Chain A
Amino acid sequence: MRLSRNTILTLIALLVIAGLLALAQAFMNPYLLRILNLCAVYSIFAVTFNLIFGYTGQFSLGHAGFAAVGAYVAALLTLSPSQKISNFFLKPIVPLLANVELPFLPALIIGGIVASLVGSLIAWPALRLRGDYLAIATLGFSEIIRILLVNMQPITNGALGLKGIPAYTNLLWSWGALAVCLFVTKRLVDSSYGRAMRAVRDDEVAAEALGVNLFKHKMMAFAVSAFFVGVAGGLMANLISTIDPKVFIFTLTYQIVGITVMGGMGSLTGSVIAASLYTIFLELLRPIESQFTIGSLTVPGIPGMRMVIFSILLLVVILFYRKGLMGTREFSWDWVVNLIRRLKSGKKTGSSGEVKS
């Protein structure tokens, strides 16, 4: 089998990244690891929102709900029976779940599948609606999920949430899941099915007249999207170890929309970049919110300041980058090779230009 230059470069890059992640996992402190893990989780959130809105044109605001489903399923499947007993001290857990304890991989996948089923179940009626009405309906479903989590005490432990979820998530899990998500999404949108989805996004009436089954393709986007959101939710639960329904309030979806728009609708690369920048940025600014001392001077922290700065930044980005940071461009080796070439020749023309002026 002959491999093209790009495939070889991709394989090399994947190996290098995997190696770097393994090194990071071994030597970085837990705080930095947590940030890197969250980068991957938010990247999955943004990539999947891009699939459903950027590529298929369905304005769905259900992400927080799908993530909640994945997170709770993965958490309940990985919590040890003794942890469950100490968690559910108000009302005992349903016997069915009391003694279940699964390894991480099946727990994640089951979480993804359940989220996907819930997503499809929601999409089934909601897809009759279009545009903003679809957005409102999915937002409503997402909030209903959250309210169910508060009220279904014997299963979810209600508003108290779940504590002591095993911290299985490490860089290989989170970035591995992101890699799979990117692979599947990219392959999907580039395939004939993805072409049909993009046609639906551009013009539903014309797409249907060309024989595209609207419901089937929208549903596909929902199901795939919700699956990976569920997996990301599971990764999040097993990263932060404590979840409660409030984590999955609809403003989480807003954050995801903001990130995706920042990165560029229709650019998966943009989604990953924006999600990572967002996560790192918020962490870098964390000190502002807690008290710190410079010499003898004690500066009180300003809670809320991080999000103030982030909101202003988001406004600036959408104002000056109409199509987000990346537009619809994607990372590609051809682009890199061209860039290197241009930089090389740019140096020459640049220096000659200086001579002229």
Chain B
Amino acid sequence: MNFEAFLQNLSNGISLGSLYALIAIGYTMVYGILRLINFAHGDLVMLGSYVAFYGVAMFMLPWWLAFPLAILVTAGVGIVIERSAYKPLRDFPRINLFTAAVAVSFLLENLGIVIFGGRPKAFERPAFMDQMLNLGGVSIVSYTPIIIITALVLFGLLLLVIYRTKAGMAMRALSKDIEATGLMGVNTDKIIMFAFMLGSALAAAGGILWAIKFPQINPLMGVMPGLKAFIAAVLGGIGNVGGAMIGGFLLGIVEIMIVAFFPELSGYRDAFAYAILILLLLFRPTGIMGEVQAEKV
């Protein structure tokens, strides 16, 4: 592989990784607070891209209006899901909460089939995202840097929210000890809602960018990115936002690079994520950035 191809693959891997990372953040925030594997999260990726699609294709909105709108709508749906399906179950056995997430996931996917139709749709990227760029002798399509830059900007905003605002601080406190934080006068309900809102918004952003990168959308498109992003969250240490970002980038780059270096393994591409995950879990059971939590006897 020559140097140019290597750089192309690397940028490809980074852009895929930034998508995984965007989606992984929602998983990790919710898990950190509620210890819930919110498997419905991946389907919000699908929802985000569909709302953006209809905004442009049906309501003729310009992309700079349709995309933020899709993010808002998805964030709202995230809140509705939390309020209606998860909140009533918060004191239930954890398997009930998990099952609720499964049910919501099935619901979103099949509502997608009912409302949007099962056939894939072609997502049209804005023209300026579709140009060939020549960056120092390496030619790449313009959407690749756009995805990476957008994701980085969103990460920056998120970190600002988490570390510089009251709500963000409360969120971090909540993931340390939900009961104690509640006793300190923090409205845990509101903060949980806020976390779902943030996570869903990022998932929608991830969904739109995903559709820009892979411009064919269908109601089940969120399943695989969702699972991969979840794995990225676990790789980074679930519950840890920084870890989710690292895990996402790592997974994206490794997936692309292994196939680039060993084309004969391309059929096993989806298996890498699982293999890495299992190996990591066996040697460092709490992920890269996760804290080791020993049970107190």
Q: Are A and B in direct contact (Cβ within 8 Å)?
A: yes
Residues on A facing B (Cβ under 8 Å): 53, 59, 125-126, 128-129, 132-133, 135-137, 140-141, 143-144, 147-148, 150-151, 205, 250-251, 254, 257-258, 261-262, 265, 302-308, 310-312, 314-315, 318-319, 322-323
Instruction: From known contacts A53-B95, A304-B114, A311-B110, infer whether A147 and B270 are also in contact, taking CB-CB under 8 Å.
Output: yes
How many Å lie between the Cα of A307 and that of B111 in the bound state?
9
In Å, the complex CA distance between A305 and B117 comes to 11
Residues of B within 8 A of A311 (CB): 103-104, 106-107, 110
Once A147-B271, A265-B95, A315-B100 are accepted as A-B contacts, the answer to whether A140 and B105 lie under 8 Å apart by CB is no
B215 CB → nearest A CB, Å:
23
Residue in A136, A254, A257 whose CB lies within 8 Å of B281: A136
B106 near A310 with CB under 8 A, answer yes
The residue in A137, A258, A315 that gathers the most chain B C-beta atoms within 10 A of its C-beta is: A315
Q: Do A303 and B113 form a contact, CB below 8 Å, given A151-B268, A318-B103? A: yes
Closest Cβ–Cβ distance, residue B253 to chain A (whole Å) = 19
* B277 touching A136, Cβ below 8 Å: yes
Given A129-B281, A136-B277, A261-B95: A314 touches B103 (CB 8 Å cut-off): yes
Q: For the complex, give the distance between the alpha carbons of A219 and B270 in Å.
A: 28
Complex Cα distance, B37 from A254, in Å, reads: 12
Within 8 A of A (CB), among B11-33: 31
Assess whether B277 is in contact with A205, with CB atoms less than 8 Å apart: no
By CB atoms of chain A within 10 A, which of B102, B285, B295 has the most? B102
Chain A residues contacting B95 (CB-CB under 8 Å) are 53, 59, 257, 261, 265
> Does B52 lie at the interface of the complex (its beta carbon under 8 Å from any beta carbon of A)?
no
Most chain A beta-carbon neighbours within 10 Å: one of B105, B114, B295: B114
12 A-B residue pairs with Cβ-Cβ distance under 8 Å, sorted by A, are A53-B95, A59-B95, A128-B282, A258-B102, A262-B99, A302-B114, A303-B113, A311-B110, A315-B104, A315-B107, A318-B103, A323-B93
Q: Is the CB of A140 within 8 A of B277?
A: yes
Q: Which residues of B contact A (CB under 8 A)?
A: 31, 35, 37, 39, 85, 88-89, 92-93, 95-96, 98-100, 102-107, 109-114, 118, 219, 223, 227, 230-231, 234, 238, 267-268, 270-271, 273-275, 277-278, 281-282, 285, 295, 297
Q: Do residues B267 and A304 form an inter-chain contact, with CB atoms below 8 A?
A: no
**Do A305 and B277 contact each other (CB < 8 Å), given the known contacts A143-B270, A150-B267?**
no
The answer to whether B227 and A307 touch across the interface, beta carbons within 8 angstroms, is no
Chain A residues, Cβ within 8 Å of B114: 302-305, 308
A257 touches B277 (CB 8 A): no
Residues of B with C-beta under 8 A to A310: 106
Q: In the complex, A56→B2 CA distance in Å?
A: 54
- A147 engages B99 (CB within 8 Å): no
Identify A251's interface contact among B89, B98, B223, CB under 8 A.
B223
In contact, A137 and B281 (Cβ under 8 angstroms): yes
Which of A257, A302, A308 is within 8 Å of B107, CB to CB? A308
Residue from B88, B109, B278, B285 having most chain A Cβ neighbours under 10 A: B278
Q: CB < 8 Å: which of B85, B268, B295 contacts A147?
A: B268
In the complex, are the beta carbons of B89 and A135 less than 8 A apart?
no
- Known A-B contacts A147-B268, A205-B295, A318-B99; A254 and B106 likewise in contact (beta carbons under 8 Å): yes
Tell me which residues across on chain B come within 8 A of A307, comparing CB atoms.
Answer: 106-107, 109-110
The complex places the Cα of A59 from the Cα of B98 at a distance, in Å, of 11
Please give the distance in Å from B202's CB to the nearest CB on chain A. Answer: 21
Chain B residues near A261 (CB-CB < 8 A): 95-96, 99
Is B271's CB under 8 angstroms from A143's CB? yes
Q: A140-B274, A144-B274, A258-B102 are in contact. Are A322 and B96 (CB under 8 A)?
A: yes
Do the beta carbons of B37 and A312 come within 8 Å of each other? Answer: no
Q: Contact between A257 and B285 (Cβ–Cβ < 8 Å)?
A: no
User: CA–CA, A322 to B95, complex, Å?
Assistant: 10
**Given the complex, which residues of B lie within 8 Å of A135, measured CB to CB?**
37
CB pair A133–B285 under 8 Å, yes or no, is yes
Say whether B234 contacts A136, CB under 8 Å.
Answer: yes
Would you give the shortest CB distance from A39 to chain B, in whole angstroms?
Answer: 20
In the complex formed, the residue of A with least CB distance to B234 is A136
Q: Most chain-B Cβ atoms within 10 A of its Cβ — which of A135, A254, A305, A312?
A: A254
- B107 and A303: CB pair below 8 A? no
In the bound complex, do residue B99 and residue A314 qualify as a contact, i.e. CB atoms below 8 Å apart? yes
Contact present for A318 and B271 (CB under 8 Å): no
Of A125, A262, A307, most B-chain CB atoms within 10 Å = A307
**A322 x B270 contact (CB < 8 A):** no
Q: Which residues of B contact A140 (CB under 8 A)?
A: 231, 273-275, 277-278
Known: A137-B281, A151-B267, A315-B100. A143 touches B92 (CB 8 A): no
Shortest 6 CB-CB contacts between residues of A and residues of B = A304-B113, A140-B274, A311-B107, A307-B110, A304-B110, A311-B106
Q: Which of A53, A304, A312 contacts B118 (CB 8 A)?
A: A304
Please give me the residue from chain A that is nearest to B114 by CB atom. A304
